[in-house]
Structure 1
Amino acid sequence: MFNRTAYGLIALTMSLTACTVVTPDAGQQAVLIDQPYFLGHGGVRPQAVPTGRSITWGSTSAIYVDMTPQTVHVAFNDYSSADNILLDFDTAIQYRVSDPVKLIRDFGGQWFKNNVASQYSAIVREAVKTKTMTDMMSNVSAAADLDRQVTAQIRRLIRDNGIPIQVLDVTLGRAVPNANVLEQMNETAAQQQRLRTLDAAKLAEDARKAEQESKAAADDAYRQKMGMSVEGYLQLQIAQIQADACRAAKQCVIAPPGSTVIVGGKL
């Protein structure tokens, strides 16, 4: 049976022979965290491992930190505009880490969730209240101004908290009315389109009526000028219609009123 000394020797051997292979990809650095088995000091090492391969002894873990620009997407729903319209946003924060060791040591791997997310939500909520829905959806300069306003406040938050990242840009994206508001807007648009269609139809009917009345007045003026009765003028119009039809058909027979026409040898 092993005694305490034997167990201690086995544990010591394991601590001396254990190793951790660290291989940061291009654009990454690895932050090492020592977790000694028995003796020594644990915690974050003061130097990060740059891109490449490194072997470290003892019980050590690694957190890989991207040093290239990164983007965090955060969605917000039902934020009220200046005109009390509920809007949804799909926002993006672009940033770059400046000191990976300090970031992990002082703020941990969940630094955004624990130190930025709730304040960011409040900043966006208050900023959205300063603009109307139309401004945020249709006015490019107003939307850009809103992005600049939020970006400045996020940079101030990061600086005041000492978080070692550089905020490159914040974009709120296009404001989208929430589902209920959008349904109401679509119904309103449909009603407006129906009214425009009815107005256009009425205008067309009025135009046709005016045209017909104008033609009738011109015809009556011509009849009176020629000294014709209404019946005589109508017969003239009928004759003109028949003549036009014959010219179009290139062959026809015009029978005087009251005549009987025989077609195909049958009466």
Structure 2
Amino acid sequence: MAYASYEHGGRHRVGRVDGDRLVPLAGLSEIGRHTDVDALRTAQELPAEAVAIDDVHLRPVVPDPAKIVCVGLNYHAHVDETGRQLPTYPVLFTKFASSLIGPDDPVELPPESEQVDYEGELAVVIGRRGRRIGTDAALDHVLGYTVSNDITMRDYQYKTHQWLQGKAWDRSTPLGPYLVTPSEVDLAGAGIRTRLRGEVVQSSTLDRLIFDIPTLVVAVSEFAELVPGDVILTGTPGGVGFRRDPQVFLVPGDEVTVEIDGVGTLTTAVRAESR
């Protein structure tokens, strides 16, 4: 199954994807803190209120997560291009819920940054509360998967050794379009690609993750209780613009697309921030 958080007629709703339509689920206004695995599975469908996807505004798959935990340096090629040593523990940083935008919303380039970069990533959405989760149970806590682009302001990221100021800009991180449940996708060997200006700039497979999804769930839940709606961004492959020669950064008029086999396609327009 695939699901979306959307707005239609002034209402926030959750819908099951049925071809080019969304079938709303009774009692659910968004995928998030009150939408665990059981709530999504047992919600009553309202087929009489189905709407065309083209007629709704798709919100971020999880519009208001309690936590967004991101992983840096989690593909071998990306570690190689940075010149860093292979990490022995996941490199973690956070974003805020205000960082998220929907899959049809544009990324607006802030006037303060001249080095806005792309990072295609698989995002994991948590669906069951847990602390100190064991490896064998980790995937039982996953609600589903979606696509993200960890847009990064490189000139701000490297102002200090901490990455927060380059990673957590308001309205900078598209998430979507749909949540795909684990039973619907085989992530083993699934491809991930980022396209910019008609060129594939990132390409890898998810089995190239240095720390796989169970390892990330275990690591995060050691120090923080995971709750439904929490999001884990699993890291980006090699090929980011900052590490290219010459460097490549996003400019107004660009369109950047992230594709993950079996999960979805996320295409984002780029424009200058209007002030």
The TM tier, using the shorter chain, reads under 0.3
Q: Output the TM-score relative to the length of structure 1.
A: 0.24
Which has the larger share of strand?
A: 2
Which protein has the larger Cα radius of gyration, Structure 1 or Structure 2?
A: 1
Of structures 1 and 2, the one with the larger relative CO (CA 8 A, separation 6+) is 2
Which has the larger share of helix?
A: 1
